[in-house]
Structure 1
Amino acid sequence: MSLDPDTLEQFLDTLDRFVRERLIPNEHKVAEEDAIPMGLIQEIKDIGLFGLSIPEEYGGLGLTMSEEVAAAFILGQASPVFRSLIGTNNGIGSQGIIIDGSPEQKQMYLPCLATGEMIASFALTEPDAGSDAGSLKTSARRDGNDFVLNGTKRFITNAPHAGLFTVFARTDPTSKTSAGVSAFLIEADTPGLSLGAIDKKMGQKGSHTSDVILDDCRVPASAILGAEGQGFKTAMKVLDRGRLHISAVCVGAAERLIRDSLAYAMDRKQFGGPLSDKQLIQAMLADSKAEAYGARCMIEETARRKDAGRKVTTEAACCKLMASEMVGRVADRAVQIHGGAGYMAEYAVERFYRDVRLFRIYEGTSQIQQLLIARNMISDAAA
């Protein structure tokens, strides 16, 4: 359901003010302490950010795709860790339930996810199954009316804080592909589910990942999300929205980096005048602006197409590829414009340079996006 224009404008204005006045001033503290303060998490809950994409009937804001990317453009201008905290509740952690969940599953989990009372986590990746997710080894053996799960999931975002995991496991041991994989909704306190140590990462300090370990973890058959053996079909259904959301966050981060770089270049004096007077600096600023604007336009158009009910799998992959690669280039130029200062931790560009590198990896690597785009082009041409 789309918000009326006045309500949407009011919400986006509130979010913009919250990002500028509360999130950005706390970025350094969060990075230094590798944790978001509990008081700030409560503020994030209070303005409804955990339920951006969850339908209003379950307590969320029920934003359309276009409205969600508009919010993500703003939210992306603060440290990515804040978006990561709410990302799984709005994306892959809730959308599968919204699309394929039973009425009981929706009533049980979506209201808690919308308020942030419960954090969702999406447990797909394994030590030997990342981009080749169809090769996952986690097993789910039927035992009467239950399933018993065994395996290890790796690099699982928000796992240390999650109350609910969407776990993908192979229910058909004879299958060696994505066929025969099922999705299970498993609460964090279920016996047999445990966590590894919190991972130490290159960037995005304050956003936590860890292994999820399943050791004879017993769940009822009613924990299956959607139909047995259809887990990957459920996963694929949520990817378009997730990729557009991440793409918009990339644009937000790029726009923040451009703003910081421009301010620094206008203030910093070199060779008798401000850096911004130097044509080579102007070229880097202009290239960054043009690329960020191009990605923004792609995302807005693709979001409109999705809201109109059109299939946008290829276009969403194009957006993810373009935006994630773009923000990496913008971050690199931002460090270059700052010169030696850009290598110092006191400037946000140093942290963003590390933080945005992850965007080219999760929600499908750049290489996976290339394969998807090309394969869809070939399939469409052959039809």
Structure 2
Amino acid sequence: MARLTRAEQQERTRAAVLVAARQEFAEFGYAEAKVDRIAERAELTRGAVYSNFTGKRALYLAVLVDAVERARDAAVPPAGPPASAGQALGSFARAWLERLPLLGDTPGSGHLQVRSLSGVLGTGPARAALAELVRFEALLLALALGPRPAAAPSPGAVRRAGLALTLLHGAAAVAENAPGTGDPFDLARAAEHLAGTALGDDPEPPHLPYVAPATTAEDPWTPPGGLHDEITGRPVDLGGDGVVVVLGTGRLSAAEDAVRAAEPDDEVTVVVVTGDPAETGRLARLRIVDLAACLRRTFPPDRLPRVHVVLDDTGTVPAALGHPPTDTAETAVRIHDGLVAARATGRGAGYAAARHPSRAPGA
């Protein structure tokens, strides 16, 4: 039998650790789980576990990410688009609510099923990232619910999508501690009604007039390859005309201003980066991939959000732009004819790059 390569052996070890960790967390829950027991279950040393995962929190998030990636890849799109925004929200809610734990589940397995983060996010940056992710999820859901041809959602539409997500996460929080609470059919009907809730549109955010304009450029651009959109699963080519916005996990809410400022025919790509791929990066992957799984079950491929979302765990895109991948990263470029036609960095960078004329200098 041929000997395994180092990479193959590491992948086999990682897979064994994930299986053992899933069993441990299902039995004991996050708080009571022990890394030593996970190593014993996998018939590995404690060091072998830590060579693949930085700690229990990273391992727990990896177990959840593995589960949501499987769910997303198995998602079957509907035969046609929902007839209305209300019907779409109801269908989205039904797909989302399938995760609610049942009465017979153990507490640990119920927590895994509901993707529970209770007691997991102990740091300020992780909590801040979660708050930004919730706002980013609302933007993506609002984009899917919007009319075609695709248009930037109004602030009211994003708030309605946020209300629906709050309803669903609230139901999950209750069911986590009291399985069987809440009728999924009632919750789905409630989500349908939220589509017609009149919230009104907020005025333009007061900081936007003070955002510095993007700097005109004419720079060669060789984008990293091998990227794909987490929502559709399709390859992403950052060399085409459009706007590329690089946002750290602590600045994802800035995507809304960039999307709203973009021209109707712009390809907008949000590249999510972090200085902590093991934990904050996995948190971002967990939330975005989980949302994508429900979106794929609700909307046909041509009705998924028009914004591309790239999870850049290794920071290749910001490196190509000359910036580090930090949790507070905020930089953007406008691409035209294979060149960087405009650059912006700092607060409002995506908005500034999107507002810059799409024609190349001198065109």
Structure number with greater CO (CA < 8 Å, separation at least 6) is 2
TM more than 0.5: no
TM-score (norm 2): 0.30
